[in-house]
Structures are given as structure tokens and as C-alpha cells.
Amino acid sequence: MGWPWRVVANAFWLNSPPSMRLKLAGGDRFRGTECCAASGARTVVHYSCAGGRVARSLSAIRQAAHVLTQITDDHMQSHPTRLMILVAGPYRSGTGDDPAKLAANVAAMEAFAMPLFRAGHVPLVGEWLGLPLATLAGSVRIGDAAYEEVFHPIAERLLERCDALLRVGGPSEGADRLVAVARARGLAVYHALREVPGCATTAA
């Protein structure tokens, strides 16, 4: 079976009108330009979306979430040792909200996705949902009220469905907050890829 997030991203891609296809990671997200998403598709943010187009976009996210739930339920039932792992690291920290640095931080977290997947786990990066959702909330720049409304809360809600958290990268108040939440919920917290079951031989 292919990478679950490719299926989820494709579900979003196929059900969104061209003007509402949201990019998922870093870069010029807040200038409405194009970049590559985790699925390999090209997506674009448009802030002029309203009314029916927002509703269609929200519907597509709901369908993608439904697909993800089905995939992960099937995976967990057939592989009881499989873990859903949230990768948490710096996003805004030390970037000055520079788009290139933000994109680099997302890419640094995404670099752990395929090693986790190949070890039999289900990787998640909070930005995959947090950034498109911030756009739907009406965010027009990093750190505005709409961004703050959803960006960190959605990561904590994702963590409710996870089995573990992988803390990567340098200083990050948001990532450290997720570590505290994970520990409070009794979840495993890893600080290196080699600590994750099945990844002991991975040099990262």
C-alpha cells in the first residue's frame, strides 16, 4: 500500500476547484504562490475564496480526514505494533517568519516521514493540516489572529489520535508544548529516529 498521506492529499486535490487547492508546506504560502505538497501535486493558496468555494474546500478537507481515518484504522488493526507518530519541531522559531526559512523547517520535519513509514509506522506533521486550516480560517499572514486560532490547537488535537511524538530539530516553544502534552497523556516521546521501534539502525 502506498504512503497514506499521498491518498489523503489526492482526495483533497481531486475534490477542490483549481482556485482552492491549498499548498501544504512552507514557502510563499501567504503570498498565494505555488509549491509542491507532500503528495507530489502542485497547490496554490488564494485568499479571495469565499462562500461556496470555502465550503467546497472545507468539504474536501473533511473527506480527506475521513480517508485518513479509514487508512489508519485499517493499518492499526492489521498491525498492532504500528504507531501513529506526530513529528514536532521548530516552525517559526528563529525564522523571523522568512518564507524560505519556514519552508526549510517544514522540510526538516518532513524528512522523518518516509523513514517512519518504511519502519511500518504512520507519520504525521502538524503543518500538513495546520497551514491549510489557517488559510480556511481567514489567515493572511503567519501569526495573525486566524493563524493563532487553529495552528497550535490542531496539532494538539492530532496528538489525541497519536501513539507517540518524535521531537526533532532545535528550540521551539510550540514543539516543547506538544512534548509536555504527550507526556501528560502517557504517550511515548522520542528525541531521535533511532529511538523509534523499527528505526534502531537508522542514522538520524
Does residue 52 form part of some domain? yes
Give the per-residue pLDDT at 119.
Answer: 96
Does residue 202 form part of some domain? no
Does residue 55 form part of some domain? yes
Give the per-residue pLDDT at 94.
Answer: 93
Give the per-residue pLDDT at 203.
Answer: 52
Q: CB-based contacts of 147: which residues, under 8 Å, 6+ apart? A: 134, 137, 139, 141
User: Nearest 5°: CA angle at 101, between 98 and 104?
Assistant: 150
Does residue 201 form part of some domain? no
Does residue 179 form part of some domain? yes
In this structure, of 28-42, 98-112, 128-142, 162-176, the range with the lowest mean pLDDT score is 28-42
Q: Convert the pLDDT of each residue in 158-189 to its tens digit.
A: 999 999 999 999 999 999 999 999 999 999 99
Q: Is the pTM of this model over 0.75?
A: no
Q: Convert the pLDDT of each residue in 50-99 to its tens digit.
A: 566 566 667 767 776 666 666 556 555 556 589 999 999 999 999 999 99
C-alpha 182: how far from chain center:
17
Give the per-residue pLDDT at 52.
Answer: 63
Mean of pLDDT over the chain: 78
Does residue 30 form part of some domain? yes
Kindly tell me the burial class for residue 114, based on how many C-beta atoms sit within 10 Å of its own C-beta (0-12, 13-18, 19 or more).
exposed
Q: What share of the chain is helix, strand, coil (3-state, %, to 5)?
A: 50, 10, 40
Sheet holding 122-125, edge to edge: 122-125, 84-88, 164-167, 188-190
Give the per-residue pLDDT at 197.
Answer: 95
Q: How many domains does the chain have?
A: 1
Domain that holds residue 98: 4-195
Taking CA atoms, 31 is separated from 51, 78, 87, 152, in Å, by 21, 43, 26, 21
pLDDT band at 201 (very low <50, low <70, confident <90, very high): confident
The full 3-state SS of 45-70, as one line of letters, equals CCCCCCCHHHHHHHHHHHHHHHHHHH
Which runs of E-coded beta strand occur in the chain?
34-36, 42-44, 84-88, 122-125, 164-167, 188-190
Does residue 68 form part of some domain? yes
